[in-house]
Amino acid sequence: MPELPEVETVRIGLSKWVTGRTIATAEVLHPRAIRRHLPGDAHFAAVLAGRTVLDVSRRGKYLWLPLDSGDAIIGHLGMSGQLLMQPAEAEDEKHLRVRFTFTDGGPQLRFVDQRTFGGLSVSEGGAGLPDEISHIARDPMDPLFDDTAFTARIRGRHTEVKRALLDQTLISGVGNIYADEALWRAGLHGTRPTDQLTRPAVARLLGHVRDVLSEAIVAGGTSFDELYVDVNGESGYFDRSLNAYGRENEPCHRCGAIIRREQFMNRSSFSCPRCQPKPRS
């Protein structure tokens, strides 16, 4: 699942390509791609034709494109979604789901999604912040993220620290990969109780979350296969810098101990048994 760095990389690319351009047509090629747009594909196409894209914004793992009508296009990549800029003459991708053309005749915006877990929709009056995603917390890269409030909220919860990092109503944009990486840097095991964290420990963890996300954005995100690419179809390369995630049975870059893999919420967690000892029962 693309996390904040991957979605931010796409946002940056889209902003360069679509801001200020006027949509000519919005062609829906697979209804599941707009399943969250309840009025259907004809309404989706009609409400977007002739509308100008003002910007490309992000809240956590969601994108939204404010329009001159006051509405917004909301996008979520799901497991395999791609937002690609392609010349009009380029051959259609096998899993092309939605195509946007523009009045200037320039490159098209194409939503490609092999597994169709992602999707697009139009939020009426959502140019500022769509109601559909307003419940999602700000992410730690947002200048309005409140460190003090976050510290109080995470310390006031009776849960494990990794579960807290993945709670998008508490802090958004962090997924399994970057949670493991930040916890490795902080020397914390993911099952550490949040109500036992000191304020300085939370501050250090939050700093490591920001560092990991910033470095991953510079690297264009993390690509383990061909499903995540930026708007130009290029893969990210932060996987070369991973210290914990996906490194089972490999030596820890800090102490040399063998990285372990543990089951976590139908997924896997990776950590160092020496640098990140499990909390005592």
Catalytic residues: 2-3, 61, 267
The answer to the question of whether 274 is labelled as a binding residue is no
42: burial class by Cβ within 10 Å (0-12, 13-18, 19+)?
Answer: exposed
User: What tokens does 114 get?
Assistant: 């092999």
The answer to the question of whether 95 is labelled as a binding residue is yes
The answer to the question of whether 157 is labelled as a binding residue is yes
Known binding positions for DNA: 95, 115, 157
Known binding positions: 95, 115, 157
